[in-house]
Amino acid sequence: MPGIRAIAVAAFGGPEVLAPMTLAVPVAGEGRAVIAVSAADVLFLDTLIRSGRFGGSFPIAPPYVPGNGVAGHVVATGPGVDPGWAGQRVVAHTGPHGGSGGYAEQVAVPAERLVGVPDGLDLRAAAAVLHDGPTALGLMTRIGARDGEWVLVLGAAGGLGLLLVQLAKAQGARVIGAARTAGIPRSEEKLNAIIKAGAEIVVDYNSPTWTAQVLGATGGTGPDVVFDGVGGQLGRAAFAITAPGGRFSSHGVTAGGFAGITPSAAAERQVRVQGIEQAQYAPGQREELIGRALADAAAQRIEPVIGQIFPLEQAARAHAAIAARAVIGKTLLTVG
């Protein structure tokens, strides 16, 4: 019986629990379309859910197929779906974070999640902006970065961080990128990627003096805007040096959890804090932002950085690289 290749999490654990499996060929049911996947996005969140650490937050139990974002071609449309989608190049969210079947050769999705990829934009680049592009545009709209302001981006070497550096620079801001850039794999590449994206200064938050370096660069006032893509103690340290009257986006958890800035602390320092809930969007709004991000990428107003690509069968290697902090920008799985 014919089937498709996929990668499944057999049990919670390390990257080694990711294993190939064969699934039934998906069917385009009512209001749905089937995508032949060319590239699947791999998120840091995928690795956390696979480990079992976030079981209370995401109702996912093994076995499941990870991944919730793909780029490819529509190969079938179901009843109630415009047949004009057939053959079109698209990106789509496949479902909620965690286990929505993206690590596979084909996946069926509701037709309203299909977003066409502009001519001239590579499908891999399209996959790379599927998640981070809308988030970066949304954060920049809500938090902002003005001409001449100092902007600090934590997690600046990641896919989202590099886009935020680019967008802040385009607004005329002076950007400081913060990342682990010493004593880890590909440290020089990380440094170069952050500078190429538009950062004026790069600080290594493995250094005990990194906050002093930021204060020194900003003339002692601290950054006017902080995009915290890391969280935890590093996020709290960045909040402590945010300029009074500044803006702080707390959207990252790679350090183990959100920064956890209390309303009273924000009020005391007169800093406007935006939490992760303000960076989440209703389905229709999400697709509109994806379309904008794809258009910006096609016009080269933003440039997604794809630092590493693995074939589908090597999903475990992709997860291991992310866990080892040995990645730059986006990590993708390719099919075919």
| Cα–Cα distance, 25 to 2 (Å, whole number) | 7
Banded model confidence at residue 28, pLDDT cuts 50, 70, 90: very high
DSSP strands (E only) in the chain: 3-9, 18-24, 32-42, 69-77, 89-93, 106-110, 115-116, 150-154, 174-179, 201-204, 225-228, 247-250, 272-274, 306-311, 330-334
The pLDDT score that the predictor gives to residue 183 is 75
The pLDDT score that the predictor gives to residue 278 is 62
- What average pLDDT does the segment 205-209 reach? 93
pLDDT reading at 1 higher than 60 = no
| Cα–Cα distance, 315 to 334 (Å, whole number) | 10
Residue predicted with more confidence, 325 or 6: 6
The pLDDT score that the predictor gives to residue 113 is 95
Pairing of strands 201-204, 174-179: parallel
The pLDDT score that the predictor gives to residue 178 is 96
Of 304, 308, 324, 317, nearest to 127 by C-alpha is 304
The pLDDT score that the predictor gives to residue 55 is 62
Average pLDDT taken over every residue of the chain:
93
Which residues make beta-bridge pairs with 18?
9
The pLDDT score that the predictor gives to residue 310 is 98
Selecting from 3.40.50.970, 3.30.420.40, 3.90.180.10, 3.40.1260.10, what CATH number does the domain 3-116+305-334 have? 3.90.180.10
- Domain extent listing, the chain: 3-116+305-334, 132-279
> Could you confirm whether domain 132-279 is CATH 3.40.50.720?
yes
Q: pLDDT tens for residues 263-316?
A: 899 899 999 998 876 667 777 788 999 999 999 999 999 999 999 999 999 999
- What average pLDDT does the segment 84-95 reach? 96
- What average pLDDT does the segment 103-128 reach? 97
* pTM for this prediction: 0.94
The pLDDT score that the predictor gives to residue 172 is 98
State both tokens at 315: 């999903």
Is 3-116+305-334's fold the same as 132-279's?
A: no
